Amino acid sequence: MNILGEFNCFGTCLKLSSFAPFVGLFVVISIALLAASLMLKRPKQRLITFVSAQVAVVLAIAATFYLMNCSYMLTFYLYLAYVLISTVLIFGVVRYYDRVLIGRLDAKPAGSMMKWAQEFVDRLVSAKLYYFDSAVPRAFAAGKSIFISIGLLEILNKDELKAVLAHEAWHIRNNSRTPYLKQLALMTFSSPKESELEYMADCFAAEIAGGEALSSARNKLDKVFI
């Protein structure tokens, strides 16, 4: 059966099945939740509502495949392979990607150069702080590691750097949830809502290092990348 024929099969099976209304219900719920996520003001509530919409979409997809009476469906096996491969990449490779980055960036432990910075990170999360040689001001988290560039150290003062480190520490503290968000996004061909995650990381950084330090760090970085 070709792809076009499979789409006809989807329509026929859904029309004839007594469980088709449940698929429609999941679709309606997902649309309602998606609309609600766009209207909510608090980032955490927006994220939770959007994730709930994604779960409803997954249930609709699963229910649709369950209702199919066709003996062989290429779309089903392609989607299953897509889910399995993405799961391995997100929950396997990405978890240890920081080890790859250490070698690729020739990153060095920052504790040897800035003991206070590693101690500051230790108070927030169990993670190793590394620096790498790059004039571009960058900071990011991967696995159980935080990476900062020499360029970042050159333009930020101590308080601003604390804000950046706190921001990245939040990401590591929530790394156990992030893979699930990414996997849901892949399974539903949607977005992991990274803007909400970044906002929550900023709120944590402002709480730890102060809103003024965070704002100052953001302004300096924005000027570099304009």
**Residue 80 half-sphere exposure toward CB, CA atoms < 13 A:** 8
Q: Which residues pair with 140 in a beta bridge?
A: 147
Asked if 183 and 87 touch (Cβ cutoff 8 Å), the reply is yes
Per-domain boundaries in the chain: 3-72, 95-225
Q: Which amino acid is at 13?
A: C
Does domain 95-225 fall into CATH 3.30.300.130? no
For residue 180, what pLDDT is reported? 78
Determine the Cα–Cα distance for residues 60 and 181; give it in Å rounded to an integer: 18
Query: How is 167-184 classified by DSSP, letter by letter?
Result: HHHHHHHTTTTHHHHHHH
Consecutive H or E run containing 13: helix 3-16
For residue range 37-78, list pLDDT tens digits in order.
888 888 888 888 988 998 998 888 887 777 776 656 677 778
For residue 15, what pLDDT is reported? 66
- Taking residues 212-218, what's their average pLDDT? 93
